[in-house]
A and B are shown apart, each in its own frame.
Chain A
Amino acid sequence: MGFREALDSGKFLITAEIGPVKGTEIDGLLEDAELIKGKVDAINVTDLQSSVMRLGSMAVCHLLKDRVIDPILQMTCRDRNRLALQSDLLSAWVLGIRNVLALTGDHPTLGDHPQAMPVFDLDSVSLLRVIGRLNEGFDMQGNQLKGAPDFFPGAVVNPGADTEAAFEMQIIKMEKKIEAGARFFQTQGIFDLDLFERFIKRIEGFKIPVLGGVILLKSAGMARFMNKNVAGVFVPESLIKEMEETKDKVKTSIEIAARLIKGLKNLCEGVHIMAIGWEKRIPMVLEEAGL
């Protein structure tokens, strides 16, 4: 069962995320994918995450497809203009990729080629609209395609936006993304279930499946770093303390993630697990969460 079918079936969805390496050494990445295969409904492959130049999302998605894993191609607007985005979408389709996650993308200045020209010709909303047009058999100029894809498009939202204006603008943009064709949402990492519940209540009327983000905490230091530097991520002091005081960081990390997943199960349609290097531990997290 592919991701789209899983979503249509109404089951609690599980997706995970892997980040391609900087270079051509892909054995580890494929090993990780094999380990979580069958335990998740799809695997997202990031698109030059953090604006760091590395192996591309499309190639890795294709390799996953070859291993009978349904990939979600993450596609940012940072590096390609509308010609390249549309062409890459067609390329992805013929390589067997069926799910696309449309994102704005981090700014190049945050990565390892800060001098690069930021493209952002389209934004995440117009990219979703373009995916819809391609699905209808036309490019964004209205030219007819010879053979059309049938992508399942998704988008992201940041429920932890930390000011009233940022939060309200996330909601306004989320609505635009739905209008533009998004069929599911994956969120930034969630650590505060009360805050997330407030968000879910707010978007109840949108009637759109949401996969709550779960980040595996590796240490108290990582939690503090994210609180300071990662937009929308807020790890409560109680969890930081738990990580600080534990003798077995891995065990505690898994327990925390499993607890969050159990909580999310009552609030939204699925979870999106971002293991950030701890992909091998995803099966243990799922087991602990009873999934």
Chain B
Amino acid sequence: MIVAEIKPFGEIKDILKGYNKVLIVGCGTCVTVCMSGGERQVELLASALRIARKIEGNEITVGERTILRQCDPEFIDQIKDEAAQYDAILSMACGAGVQGITERLGSISVLPAMNTTFIGVSDGQGTWVEVCTACGDCILYKTGGICPVARCAKGLINGPCGGSQSGLCEVSKDNPCVWQQIYARLVKLNLLHSLKGMSQPKTWPVHPRRLVREDLRLKKEPTKGV
């Protein structure tokens, strides 16, 4: 999932300076699962904002909505009419959600309430860890299903640097050296030989990337150049 965390309350208050009617929109997918931008968090943030602005003598009208996915036009359309009644939308989704609404609704300010942190998984109650950089060229079949591009601080694909101590990364003692995890996993799977070949330098993606699936497009247009 995409993991995101809510911005500090002071920053959100600053972002909303000058706006008096704001619709907070939660997202029902990733950020609901990582408990940062779902229905419950929308409710809490809305209350906090109302109280804070009331204390300041500068009251704000806050609406609350949560849609299933802010990265999908179909769901964004559900708030189209309601959004028209507000000065701004405060999105509690990842950066894709904020921009999804921006693209679809056009004429209203869409502001982020979140910092999008990474693509990750939960590895304990209340903890998440980055596991994928969406590099676009997956090598997990060579590394026992554990990604060195995302989980090695240097993104090394031919084995570790010499910097680990007691199995921990030189950059952060909170992180295990992923290459040692890869080693242990491959030993367990009896696949250590898959590490022997040299991994070629990666071809880095050019941003922004775009994915076109001809088989899924509504109007079948001939592919360019054919």
Contact = CB atoms under 8 A, between A and B. Distances in A.
A158 B162 contact: yes
Contact of B167 (A106, A129, A163, A172): A163
A77 B211 CA distance: 31
Given A109-B171, A172-B196, A231-B162, A120 B180 contact: no
B159 interface: yes
B93 to A, nearest CB: 27
Nearest to A233: B165
Contact of A231 (B156, B163, B179, B180): B163
B200 interface: yes
Interface residues of A, number: 40
Given A106-B170, A173-B159, A166 B154 contact: no
Contacts of A77: 154
Contact of B153 (A118, A231, A232): A118
Q: How large is the interface on B (under 10, 10 to 19, 20 to 34, 35 or more residues)?
A: 20 to 34
B155 interface: yes
Given A121-B201, A122-B201, A163-B180, A231 B164 contact: yes
Contacts of B184: 165
A48 interface: no
Given A121-B204, A126-B201, A169 B165 contact: no
Contact of B154 (A104, A129, A156, A168): A104
B132 interface: no
Contact of B164 (A125, A140, A166, A173): A166
B166 A163 contact: yes
A249 interface: no
B157 interface: yes
Interface stretch (A19-27, A63-71, A175-183, A278-286): A175-183
B158 interface: yes
A116 B37 CA distance: 30
A165 B161 CA distance: 13
B154 A120 contact: yes
B159 A107 contact: no
17 contacts: A104-B156, A104-B161, A106-B170, A107-B163, A123-B154, A123-B201, A126-B158, A126-B200, A126-B201, A161-B164, A163-B164, A165-B167, A166-B167, A166-B177, A170-B160, A188-B162, A231-B165
Interface of A: 77-78, 82, 104-107, 109-110, 118, 120-126, 129, 140, 156-158, 161-163, 165-166, 168-170, 172-173, 175-176, 179-180, 188, 229, 231-232
